[in-house]
Amino acid sequence: MMELKELKGLGKARLETLNKAGILTLADLLLYLPVRYQDTSVTTPLEKAAPGMEVCVSGYPKAAPRLSRFRGLTSVTLRLCDETGGLPIVWFNQPWLQTSIHPDELLTLYGKIDRDKQGRMRMVSPVLVKERGILPVYRTLSGLPPKTMRDMIRQALTQLEDCCPETLPEILRVKYHLCERNFALRQAHFPETRENLAIALRRVSFEGMLLYQAAAASLRGERAKGIVIDVPDKATDAYWCSLPFPPTSAQKRVLDEIAGDLKSSRAMGRMVQGDVGCGKTALAFGAIALTAQAGFQSALMAPTEILARQHLESAKAMLEPLGIGCGLLVGGMKAKERRKALGKIASGEWRAVIGTHALISEGVEYKNLGLVVTDEQHRFGVRQRRMLSRKADAAEDAPNELVLSATPIPRTLALVLYGDLDLSIVDELPPGRTPVKTRVVPEEKREGLYHFIRQEAAQGRQTYIVCPLVEESEQIDARSAQETYAELCNGPLSDLRLGLTYGEQDAVEKAETIRRFSSGELDVLVSTTVIEVGVNVPTATVMVIENADRFGLSQLHQLRGRVGRGAKESWCFLMAAPNERLKTLCETNDGFKIAQKDLEIRGPGDFLGTRQHGDTLIPGMAMGADVQMLEETSQCLKWIRSPGYEEEWNQLKESAQAAFARALDEIAMN
């Protein structure tokens, strides 16, 4: 069978680029599917083009292209005309197009229609069409032009039968109306018709989701022998009695489930999922208290230093009265402070160790580590969770693992994503929590909003203003944090104390800004979504989200959760034109209902987002998967694991382990 390096046109540099992207074999290349498609088979008349459409258009430039410059950015503009009308075209940061496009030349372009800041229709940065058909578009890899990528995949397809054998049992394919794998891969790369593409994407998406679930189920079934935590009867009741507030029935149920896991000889692997404010922190500390009382240490890992420090303050209030020593380990500590912390961890003086990624760094030695807790699960991978678990000094028995997630995910999707974990859902909020009132605010009511913010500030209440961008962009029609901050400081809110924070900001400056806001030294905090987790300010009563239509519903709900943390009435204002999607947020504060709606609107791929390097969390999911397929694959897994299908389940399990072999090996090694 041909090897990857034997492909024509693939030199050493390009081979290294593929290898860095995780493409090591021909099979990897064939499973490197397009992220989208350009349908250049049909030309749309310019009079039919409308905002939001992604279309192929043809025509002649009305005049020579014009080159402009703005704050280091370049733009090339022209007006394209056909017999039905005209359309402005703009390319950003492609200055060479000014001299390569001529007025008497027929141009065929493919791109998206939108509106500029003045509301005028335009096509932004289209590609020049050289080839007609349904063309695959792959994630860009440095040094590999799109045509080269397509040529390599065409070569690899000649070896398809040898390197990509069938993965799904025939009985399963027939039951769920799935085409064969070789047909699916051919059509997914180079579809002959829209119908063939739909058939191929269904097969690819179904397979990716099913194999992912099968691999996760295998991990769950092979959970290691765990450290047994002796939890006495009534120990959970005693913990709740030690707190100044009564638990909800959901909290009592979930802590009992955790206690049952801790007593088991099988290592606990449990996710606790719940909406903002449902009391997950109290549950985590309950698990830590039960573990400490049995003589074992616990480590809680948070995604940010701000959140870790907040957890430490809560731990001191809730655990130290029980005689449980608590301490902090974060990356920014001075050498002397770090040495002192490492000593207290190693000696076991700190039974509850709270920190960031520093908890899994070299040189950290634990004393009798029996429980690891990771907060904000979506910010850590399986590998990072397992690295913390490997810090346990028990050679044979694995520590118990508890993960927390404040991102509401529909149950079916949670089981797909975190199939290696048991799932507990805290579906009840403590009594007395005031729901945040949410309103959509159109642009013409902005001045009234600023008046309301000034009124709130006069009463000692604070406001968040969240923007989708850090700095102004000519390419994206959205408000930036820096632009908004400058505008408000010199205009509508100049009489208030304002602060600015964003992800790329200097860490010390960011921490100081958030500290000043938390302590009440600032009235308004202008930021990006960096404040989505880990900022707890009870006196903040107003959340303003600029360009709210650019965010997913679940992220809007997370941002809204930054207010309403005190007894005062709180508000969330969504700056956008009213639509059905945002109406959902105004009608309910139930994060799970919102997540379900978000999932239905955007589909699993967009709902989950992508990893930083561009791969979807589940192969094939972003292209053809929907909520119905999510349910289908979950039911399929249950069916294939039922009595009578042992041979088929073993075949599927082997396919899953092969598909995710590298990921599983990485987990095993760490």
The total number of structural domains that make up the chain: 3
Strand partners, 329: 355
Length of the chain as a residue count: 670
Same domain flag for 390 and 441 = no
How far apart CA 258 and CA 277 sit, in angstroms, is 19
Domain contains 108: yes
Whole-Å CA distances, 406 to 37, 473, 557: 35, 32, 11
Domain span at residue 445? 437-588
Per-residue pLDDT tens digits for 592-616: 788 777 777 765 555 444 332 334 4
DSSP sequence for 313-326: HHHHHHTGGGT--E
Domain contains 184: no
Same domain flag for 381 and 457 = no
Biggest CA–CA distance in the chain, Å, is: 86
Judged on CB neighbours under 10 Å (0-12, 13-18, 19+), 614 is exposed
How far apart CA 378 and CA 167 sit, in angstroms, is 29
Task: Report which of 421, 370, 401, 365 is spatially closest to residue 227, judged by C-alpha positions.
Answer: 370
How far apart CA 265 and CA 456 sit, in angstroms, is 54
Domain contains 441: yes
**Domain final residue pick, 358, 384, 405:** 405
Same domain flag for 561 and 474 = yes
Same domain flag for 361 and 452 = no
Domain contains 35: no
How far apart CA 188 and CA 201 sit, in angstroms, is 6
Domain contains 521: yes
Same domain flag for 247 and 384 = yes
**Domain final residue pick, 382, 405, 428:** 405
How far apart CA 546 and CA 561 sit, in angstroms, is 16
Domain contains 329: yes
Residue 249: CB partners within 8 Å, gap ≥ 6?
Answer: 428
Strand partners, 127: 110
How far apart CA 670 and CA 668 sit, in angstroms, is 6
Same domain flag for 571 and 443 = yes
How far apart CA 384 and CA 396 sit, in angstroms, is 20
Same domain flag for 488 and 555 = yes
Q: Note the pLDDT of residue 346.
A: 93
Same domain flag for 307 and 363 = yes
Task: Report which of 443, 441, 438, 468 is spatially closest to residue 585, judged by C-alpha positions.
Answer: 438
Q: What is the mean pLDDT of each run of 10 residues along the chain (670 residues)?
A: 85 90 90 89 93 92 91 89 95 92 92 85 92 89 88 94 92 96 95 93 89 77 78 94 92 96 90 83 95 94 84 93 95 89 94 90 87 71 58 66 78 64 81 83 92 95 87 54 89 93 81 88 90 74 92 85 84 90 88 77 51 40 62 88 93 86 49
**Domain final residue pick, 386, 405, 424:** 405
Handedness of CA 128, 129, 134, 139 (dihedral sign): negative
Same domain flag for 337 and 397 = yes
Say how many Å lie between the first and final Cα of the chain, rounded: 33
Q: Note the pLDDT of residue 292.
A: 95
Q: Note the pLDDT of residue 392.
A: 59
Q: Looking at this protein, which amino acid is placed at residue 217? A: A
Burial 156-183 (b: 16+ CB within 10 A, else e): bbebbeebbeebbbeebbeebebeebee
How far apart CA 60 and CA 385 sit, in angstroms, is 57
Same domain flag for 479 and 576 = yes
Q: Note the pLDDT of residue 417.
A: 63
Per-residue pLDDT tens digits for 631-666: 788 889 989 999 999 999 999 999 988 887 665 554
Q: What is the CATH number of the domain that holds 67?
A: 2.40.50.140
Domain contains 377: yes
Same domain flag for 469 and 370 = no
How far apart CA 546 and CA 527 sit, in angstroms, is 10
Same domain flag for 389 and 448 = no
Q: Note the pLDDT of residue 462.
A: 95
Q: Note the pLDDT of residue 410.
A: 67
Q: What is the CATH number of the domain that holds 505?
A: 3.40.50.300
Domain contains 213: no
